[in-house]
């Protein structure tokens, strides 16, 4: 029993589980089931709950969130689709965070030796809410990568989930609105959502470039110069006592 609880055994099980989830997504394509519509007469509240549950499981299995967000808008409309997508996002993030925290943290923390890894771990550990919120608001870091990086760090559950719920709303809303109005690509709502996604992507690149020094840290200083004490030299013309 103690062998099964060893950190490296749990990490290996996590890798196998994630690989199986990835293969299952590739084989069955569950994201297509979310966009085939619901049975007639299904209450909106129940539809939101079912969609959020499926969304969370698909997200934890590496289904791209933009596809799920578009499906949420197409199936449920903008209002209910946004609610289901945000709830599913938090659920999927919580599943990934929990798996990474329980099965991978103890094995991976001793490997945090590189400058980038130490800096990212320090930011997430000391400023969990602020760091996760920034990652969620500005796209660029893959959703699953951010989840497992936060899980390996000492970021708490509440800051992680709260920052995820708040930070994913803008881009999620843009994708949901785009999915809900995809049948009218010239409508103002579709064009505004598309423009927002484009601008947010550009801003994310600019912010990431300008703030990169906070992650990489200051360059390492070279070895301190060794002070050499000068030894007086007795000149040829000096006279001894």
* pTM recorded for the entire structure: 0.72
**What are the tokens at 209?**
């470039």
Q: Tell me how far apart the alpha carbons of residues 86 and 55 are, in angstroms, rounded to a whole number.
A: 9
Give yes or no for residue 191 having a pLDDT over 90.
Answer: no
Q: Tell me how far apart the alpha carbons of residues 164 and 129 are, in angstroms, rounded to a whole number.
A: 9
DSSP state of 224: P
Average confidence (pLDDT) over 118-139: 81
Can you give the pLDDT at residue 137? Answer: 87
Average confidence (pLDDT) over 28-33: 64
> What is the SS3 assignment for 168-194?
CHHHHHHHHHHHHCCCCCCCHHHHHHH
Average confidence (pLDDT) over 100-123: 65
Domain ranges of the chain: 7-35+44-216
The pLDDT tens digits for 205-229 are 676 666 555 545 444 444 444 444 4
- The residue among 51, 18, 53, 22 whose CA lies nearest residue 35 is 51
Can you give the pLDDT at residue 201? Answer: 74
| Alpha-helical segments (H) within 5-64 | 7-28, 44-60
Give yes or no for residue 38 having a pLDDT over 80.
Answer: no
Can you give the pLDDT at residue 112? Answer: 56
Element (H, E) at 202: helix 188-210
Q: Tell me how far apart the alpha carbons of residues 213 and 217 are, in angstroms, rounded to a whole number.
A: 5
């Amino acid at each position: 029993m103690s062998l099964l609880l060893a950190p490296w055994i749990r990490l290996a099980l996590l890798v196998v589980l994630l690989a199986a989830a990835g293969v299952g997504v590739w084989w069955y394509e569950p994201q297509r089931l979310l966009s085939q519509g619901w049975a007639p007469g299904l209450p909106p509240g129940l539809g939101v709950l079912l969609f959020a549950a499926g969304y969370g499981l698909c997200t934890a299995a590496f289904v791209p969130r933009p596809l799920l967000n578009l499906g949420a808008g197409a199936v449920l409309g903008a209002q209910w689709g946004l609610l289901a997508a945000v709830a599913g996002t938090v659920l999927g993030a919580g599943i990934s965070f929990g798996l990474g925290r329980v099965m991978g943290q103890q094995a991976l923390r001793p490997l945090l030796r590189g400058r980038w890894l130490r800096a990212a771990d320090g930011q997430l550990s000391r400023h969990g809410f602020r760091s996760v919120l920034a990652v969620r608001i500005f796209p660029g870091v893959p959703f699953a990568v951010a989840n497992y990086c936060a899980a390996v760090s000492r970021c708490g559950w509440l800051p992680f989930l709260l920052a995820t719920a708040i930070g994913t709303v803008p881009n999620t809303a843009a994708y949901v609105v785009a999915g809900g109005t995809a049948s009218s690509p010239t409508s103002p709502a579709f064009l505004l959502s598309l423009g927002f996604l484009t601008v947010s992507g550009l801003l994310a690149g600019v912010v990431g470039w300008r703030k990169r020094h906070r992650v990489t840290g200051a360059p390492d200083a070279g070895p301190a110069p060794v002070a050499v004490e000068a030894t007086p030299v007795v000149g040829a013309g000096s006279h001894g006592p």
